[in-house]
Amino acid sequence: MTAVYEELGLPAAVNANGKMTALGGSVLSDAVVAAMGEAARSHVVMDRLLEAAGAELARAAGTEDACPTTGAAAGIAISVAALIAGTDPYRVERLPDACGAPDEVVLPKGHAVHFGAPVRQMVALGGGRAVEAGEVNKMRAEHLAGAIGDRTAALLYVQSHHTVQKGMVSLAETVRVGRAHGVPVIVDAAAEEDLRAWPATGADLVVYSGGKAVGGPTSGMICGPSRLIRACRAQYGGIGRPMKVGKETVLGLVHAVREHTARAGAAAEEAERQRLRMAELARRLGELPGLTADVVRDEAGRLIHRAQLTVDPEQAGRDAAGLAAELAGGDPPVFLRDHHATSGRLSVDPRTLGPEDEELLVRRLTSLLHGEPA
């Protein structure tokens, strides 16, 4: 724990959950921290900084331009606003009133998720009205096409572990439907690692988080063609004003993207190292009473391998949710990935877990499941 948190009386947190907003996103590299500190020591014309940073971010994503944001959620709202209001100052300043312009944003029902806030609300902040197509567990391109009408401003595709993973329309099909009907496609690829892959699908605007896979500060970016990115930047004179991104964050994001791009060639090797780490951890934890452990790959297809713990309530003396709550309520609090706790499964994410944290997790679980003092 660093002194700045100690001064506030906050306990250390062991993060085995992943790069989650609720746990502060990413731990920053020394170079990113240094860039943010240097940026804080001088003034700059913000409009020019957003343009210059956007040009560099766009090179990393393989797009014409990019717009820095405070996060992926802001990126969704700003993207919707840009497609509704464009660069017209009158319309920009009237949002979220769309002033009669097409404002419906069509998305699969299984993509209308809550990621800490509802994605529908992000659409509404940008002046849009979310229209859900298909059903939660069954969605075809025909459902998507059938929901498009004269009021449609955009299609929204959410690439996330939060979304329903089966029975959904693919992004390729979404782009095809959008092209056939002349409707732009927004992709929320917040936590995705390959910055070039998603714009290459033909999507019009792609939204990333800077604080997740990229390893930057709490931030984000919208990537796409210059025409649409100009409209995104224009929203900082409207609904984007309370989402304005500071100079320190912009520089931190740029340096984090540089580092992320430099690491891209070694992604497969790093994933294999993490898989081996988690296999050994699963072996150790699988010996504890009430736990069965194995290694699983990320359900949304990312190169992340996690140790998955299946909890037997009778042998463990508590169910998965109860075990996760005990760990989180301890000193220090330990946070497991509990997205599937209701089905008896917890998991350990290697990306945010150091060797010392890993040992502490083993000790805490051993103590709890053997009924010993922590």
Q: What is the CATH number of the domain that holds 286?
A: 3.90.1150.180
Helix, coil or strand: residue 240: coil
Residues 18 and 49 in one domain: no
In this structure, what are the phi and psi dihedrals at residue 118, rounded to the nearest 5 degrees? -75, 135
Same domain, yes or no: 224 and 307? no
Of 210, 245, 280, which residue sits at a domain end? 245
Q: 271 and 241, same structural domain?
A: no
Task: Answer yes or no: is 253 within a domain.
Answer: no
CA distance readout (Å), 222 to 73, 109, 199, 265, 277 = 11, 23, 10, 23, 34
Query: Based on the domain organization, do 178 and 69 belong to the same domain?
Result: yes
Residue 194 lies in a domain: yes
* DSSP calls for 74-141: HHHHHHHHHHHHTT-HHHHHHTTS-TTS--EEEEEGGG--BSSSBHHHHHHHTT-EEEEESBTTB--H
Q: Is residue 31 part of a domain?
A: no
Q: Quick one: which H or E segment has residue 5?
A: helix 3-6
Q: Are residues 49 and 113 in the same domain?
A: yes
Which residue, of 183, 215, 245, is where some domain finishes? 245
34: exposed, middle or buried (Cβ count in 10 Å: 0-12, 13-18, 19+): middle
Indicate the SS3 state at residue 344: coil
Region at 64 (left for phi over 0; alpha for psi -120 to 50; beta for the rest): alpha
Q: Please check whether residue 30 lies inside any domain of the structure.
A: no
pLDDT in tens, the chain (374 residues): 467 888 888 877 899 998 989 888 999 999 999 999 999 999 999 999 999 999 999 999 999 999 999 999 999 999 999 999 999 999 999 999 999 999 999 999 999 999 999 999 999 999 999 999 999 989 999 999 999 999 999 999 999 888 888 888 999 999 999 999 999 999 999 999 999 999 999 999 999 999 999 999 999 999 999 999 999 999 999 999 999 999 999 999 999 999 999 998 888 898 999 999 999 999 999 999 999 999 999 887 888 999 999 999 999 999 999 999 999 999 889 999 998 999 999 999 999 998 999 999 999 999 999 986 55
| Residue 322 CB partners (closer than 8 Å, separation 6+) | none
Q: 29 lies in a domain?
A: no
Is the separation of the CB atoms in 14 and 334 below 8 Å?
Answer: yes
Whether residue 309 sits in one domain with residue 217: no
Clarify whether residues 113 and 192 are in a common domain: yes
Among 188, 211, 245, the domain-final residue is 245
Please give the residue range of the domain that contains residue 346. Answer: 3-22+267-369
Residue 243 to residue 67: CA distance in whole angstroms:
12
Q: Domain total for the chain?
A: 2
Cα within 13 Å of Cα(3), Cβ side: 0
Are 235 and 74 contacting, i.e. CB atoms less than 8 angstroms apart? Answer: no
Decide if 77 is inside a domain. yes
164, 208: one domain? yes
CATH code, 231 = 3.40.640.10
16 and 56 part of one domain: no
**320 shares a domain with 183:** no
Question: Do the domain assignments include residue 259?
Answer: no
Q: Are residues 216 and 74 in the same domain?
A: yes
How many C-beta atoms surround the C-beta of residue 363 within 10 A? 13
Query: Are the beta carbons of 83 and 233 closer than 8 angstroms?
Result: no
Domain contains 35? no
78/196 same-domain check: yes
In the numeric block, the tokens 């998955």 are attached to 308
Residues 6+ apart with CB under 8 A from 200: 62
